[in-house]
Amino acid sequence: MRVLHIPEGGLPMINLCRALRSTGVTATACHFYANHFNFQSDVCLNLQDIPEHLREKKINQYFKKVIKEYDIFHFHFGGTFFPDKRDLKILKRAGKKMVVHHRGSDVRLLSAAKSQNQFVRVKPEWTEEKIKENLAQLSKYIDHAIVQDYELETYINDYYKETHVIPHIIDHNELQPNYPKGKATPLIVHAPTKRDLKGTEFILEAVKQLKNSGVSLEFKLIEGMDHQETIKLLAKADIVIDQLRIGSYGYLSTEAMALGKPVICYIREDLIDKYPAKLPIVNANPDSITTVLGNLINTPNQWKSLGVKGRAYAKQHHSAQKVINQYIEVYKKL
């Protein structure tokens, strides 16, 4: 079984390929563009270094090479080799197997999301028209789609013959726990990729209000750093705040839990029961973040307990040994 993962997917895609290789599957993570997080994929086409009018030629050369080498093509974030998706027809005719892995903004329909979540925001470049057209093109040739949680599944159920909810994979051995000590002035860390999508403005306001009311805390906003620097700061944190708008937890929450940190994140009420029992995330939305953060700061005896539960949860539900067979089972169905 030889599987190629393209065209972007960051560390989740890279860790997935590493986990697949540990089971004997030949898996390659290929990014088309380099990224500022310094994620080291197995292959990078570095298209950002090529004049725009020559990029498609480079992709076409790579496509002709890999179509001979791989059995399964695992597409991430709604992308394939070419913007017009003409590669899907070619791959289908060549007898290749395909699966698409949706990650978030590539399928999150604002109108549908707002019916369940008043706080949600979406990336403006992913309009509903673009999302629906993309899903229609992909599902014409691809029967199976993967998402990491049930929030995302709701947007794609009507398009694919089969959808699979599979948690993303972390390497918990690379994320050793550093449980908070319950010190008088805790370090609060927030690391948004997109401020508006994550609700950063509400976190900044909560920190301001708490400081003004006399609460002792240190706050660090992580932006523009590569992944290694981000992990170092997360490891020093006493409390990590992830996202307050989406309604489900992301990769950062999983990493923070693996590091043994209490995590604050917004989980939609209708989705809570769909997660494994006793999800150790402290739930907060833009309306409640000031109160929730203040209460957590004022109960330092909870920090280590939440960190220990989070570490156990991440190992149980996101480690390669627990998750990877679910991906292999999907491949066998293609």
Give, for 219, the enclosing helix (H) or strand (E): strand 218-221
Per-residue confidence (pLDDT) for residue 9, from 0 to 100: 87
Give, for 131, the enclosing helix (H) or strand (E): helix 128-141
CA dist 28 and 5 (Å) reads: 6
CA dist 112 and 128 (Å) reads: 10
CA dist 224 and 56 (Å) reads: 29
Token digits of residue 55: 């990029």
CA dist 144 and 146 (Å) reads: 7
CA dist 255 and 311 (Å) reads: 9
Q: What is the DSSP letter of 47?
A: G
Its pTM stands at: 0.94
CA dist 284 and 267 (Å) reads: 8
CA dist 268 and 238 (Å) reads: 24
Contact 195, 201 (CB under 8 A): yes
CA dist 301 and 140 (Å) reads: 54
Q: What is the pLDDT of residues 236-251, one digit of tens each?
A: 999 999 999 999 999 9
Least confident piece of the model among 30-39, 179-188, 195-204, 269-278 = 30-39
CA dist 186 and 261 (Å) reads: 12
- The amino acid at 240: V
Judge whether residue 38 has pLDDT over 90.
no
Bridge partners (DSSP) of residue 221 are 190
Q: Is the dihedral of CA 35, 36, 40, 46 positive or negative?
A: positive
CA dist 40 and 116 (Å) reads: 37
Domains of the chain, first to last: 2-169+320-333 (3.40.50.2000), 173-318 (3.40.50.2000)
Please state, rounded to an integer, the average pLDDT across all residues of the chain: 95
Q: What is the pLDDT of residues 130-171, one digit of tens each?
A: 999 999 999 999 999 999 999 999 999 999 999 999 999 999
